[in-house]
Structure 1
């Protein structure tokens, strides 16, 4: 795929002094969603190109699409209804449920909208889902990402000659980084308030109760971890809190009530929505790999690797990473796009600025591996590291560790030992894993939530079940009420 700079060419936006006024005048138009005149250096076709180009990488990086055709279809159906009720119905709107446990929802320019199974698992009605989808549609119709790019561009005039992004990004961004660059163009408080209002507009146009916005905002406030705890953007990172958004939505409801609009009969669809969640994976899925301390095990791909003791670790959809406490070294395991380990190593060694040492090869337990130490000259200085490519199970893996050359000696032994720990996973006890899942139940009689937990125990903490249902542990449940509990889950601990 082409680098991002080839899609949004800096040359296309170069604002030379004598042309600046003409360019700005020709780029000023009325935003169809907000009714405001705005300067935009990104056309609609460029918005679509950015979103379309980044969509495959973002989807893959966040776990791929969740394997539930009925759920995918319903989310798409609701999203398309909102899009058709918006001011930009002709965009190539695409709605995806991603197989990621993070509580997250976001949009790319051009109409590409994503929600994770993580955020869905804490929702309790379609009105909540429609509130989130409407909010994300609002970001697209109001062209918030295009606006962020334009402001960034205008701020760089005369400094970098009109480049959309820094030289580092333009020179080094792969497609996954390009997609994250779009996500990291943080929305302003004004953008968030505007998208909340637009989401309210769109969901009421398709007859969904806007109380769902308040309910989902309350859920997000109770469940979202801090950005520092997560390795990729979460709701709270890509959607900074603009203040008390629940109160803002309640003011909209009160205003409409004063005007005689009570939304009586507008859809909430709690029971049918919970039916869609019945059986959904809840939390992390150990089939995608799990850690026991710093030992990473992948039961489906049937391999394991042990990272250095005391290092921080993270399992992502496309890579497993680890870093030392001093933040002077990093390791990563991912797939290599090569026909063999030898071919992958040849490709790595052929890169400009890379020098590899003597190669070591071995074949043991079905792993055909080649390993070498290396140095690499970069703009930030010389890096030193070790890399191994391994043919195993029909795939080629890259296991890499590196750091600044000056401090490499202090971690060299730990890193090379960790790389060489890559091996087949054969212990049946460690291969036998299963995720937690949502089970939706109908309460047979009036009871407290504590009584429900005692009568129908879950396999996660009671507090987690309460969060999933958005009730307090002292809440009272009514006969016939639909309630989630969490069942199953089999993850070895040692």
Structure 2
């Protein structure tokens, strides 16, 4: 995932600690052991987390593609330990959900209780249905082997207390934490739990087994792991989160081939690859960031769908998420967050926020910003570790919605950053430029090679943000790889 971020309440985290551990069955081994949660708790946690993940990241809006991924996931699930006659009914009867998240990151992850996620970025880099079958089988393997619950049992009390303290500060002030702390207690706790490399090796083994039993040529997945290795090399230190705790991709590539060869001796009919059918499914898939959901151009952020824009202060890094836009000072001393308020007026939103316990009101008022009604509040509050934070909060009405700007800085630094906050906030304005309003994403198009030549030679002029190397990785080939006439190629096109 994946770079995940999204979740619930401090109380749930405390309840999980209070509930302690549970003695339960491992569906893969059949043995009973201690777990952090019972299976019923895992299902409840997964259900709660799923709602928040969907709200935070958004689902990719392609019902046919979503139905395809879910259908394939259900097929692979039928060949897992969770659907075998000897498995206890509580596991056999647990429904699974497979979702496609609207993210360009190459990622897949699972939550306890049967929730599996793949991103559109991963789907673009997969080359056939057999590869996707192994990826889905790998994630099903994490759930079947109950890896998250095993790691939760081993989690130290101090780590949970630290997490809880961070979330207290978030709940009172509304202050965003790191990527994980935006999620809330239980889900954040789960995402802090790094699978061990042994867990990953077990899931690789299970993923190959489940795909092979479903009739797929599981050896195909080795090429996908080679793609992950190239992505990690290209990213340098910023590894795709799918790789963050996994064994070395080169090792995995060899392991996948060996495991698949072993299964082929038992299941000689495991020959399904289905590249052409898969390419038909992903034709038109959005590649990279979708500018319709907001994009940075120079020192301005534009959101065509919601029809607004605002200037971005120099020295601030922009993180655009479906539910919020975060601007972080390069010194890490200040942050400005734009999100949607749930109230129907700026005045109501301001009144509700300033009425929270734990806040000390400093100033308040109203004004017009580029013709829009705005109400502001300045308040102070303490984080869980006792630091005094000053918050500048603006609520702005625009086209039937209320937007919330929240600028945060330590009280000692606030005077330095207030003018910067106001520069962005008072620059918020309706977007009317038809060129920016009608911007479209880059999409994946499947084009057959017109002649035989090295891959590099066959590439057309590429859109901004795409290089010959990134497109070669997308196709799981090298730049100098010989391509035969008629070979289908995945290309980025406007």
Q: TM-score range by the shorter chain?
A: 0.7 to 0.9
The CA distance in 2 between the partners of 1:4 and 1:242, in whole Å, is 36
Alignment partner of 2:390 out of 384, 388, 393: 384
Q: Which runs of 5+ in 2 are unaligned?
A: 1-6, 84-92, 172-181
The CA distance in 2 between the partners of 1:12 and 1:359, in whole Å, is 42
Alignment partner of 2:150 out of 144, 147, 152: 147
Residue correspondences, number: 464
Q: Tell me the equivalent position of 1:375.
A: 380
Alignment partner of 1:194 out of 202, 205, 213: 202
The CA distance in 2 between the partners of 1:170 and 1:465, in whole Å, is 40
- Residues 1:370 and 1:321: Cα distance change in structure 2 (over 3 Å): same
TM-score with structure 2 setting the length: 0.87
- Residues 1:244 and 1:315: Cα distance change in structure 2 (over 3 Å): same
The CA distance in 1 between the partners of 2:25 and 2:38, in whole Å, is 13
* 1:317 maps onto 2:329 in alignment: no
Give how far 1:265 is off: 5.2
Q: Tell me the equivalent position of 2:82.
A: 88
Alignment partner of 2:217 out of 197, 200, 209: 209
Give how far 1:10 is off: 4.0
Give how far 1:252 is off: 1.9
The CA distance in 1 between the partners of 2:280 and 2:350, in whole Å, is 50
Matches within 5 A, 1:104-143: 104-143=107-146
8 A Cα contact 1:102 1:116, kept in partner: yes
The one-character-per-residue Cα deviations of 1:102-127 (angstroms, maximum 9, x if unpaired) are 11110010010000001111111011
The one-character-per-residue Cα deviations of 1:208-233 (angstroms, maximum 9, x if unpaired) are 11113212211111124659648xx8
The CA distance in 2 between the partners of 1:405 and 1:3, in whole Å, is 27
8 A Cα contact 2:8 2:184, kept in partner: no
Q: Tell me the equivalent position of 2:311.
A: 306
Give how far 1:261 is off: 4.5
| RMSD (CA atoms) | 2.6
The one-character-per-residue Cα deviations of 1:226-282 (angstroms, maximum 9, x if unpaired) are 59648xx8212364648711122222234446xx34745521111110111111111
The CA distance in 2 between the partners of 1:355 and 1:189, in whole Å, is 48
The one-character-per-residue Cα deviations of 1:36-77 (angstroms, maximum 9, x if unpaired) are 542114111100000001101112212x11111221111101
Q: Secondary structure at the match of 1:9?
A: helix
Q: Secondary structure at the match of 2:125?
A: coil
* 1:330 maps onto 2:335 in alignment: yes
- Residues 1:371 and 1:30: Cα distance change in structure 2 (over 3 Å): closer
Q: Tell me the equivalent position of 1:340.
A: 345
* 1:466 maps onto 2:472 in alignment: yes
Q: Secondary structure at the match of 1:121?
A: helix
The CA distance in 2 between the partners of 1:166 and 1:475, in whole Å, is 48
Alignment partner of 1:34 out of 24, 29, 42: 29
TM-score with structure 1 setting the length: 0.87
Q: Tell me the equivalent position of 1:247.
A: 254
The CA distance in 2 between the partners of 1:227 and 1:445, in whole Å, is 34
Q: Tell me the equivalent position of 1:492.
A: none
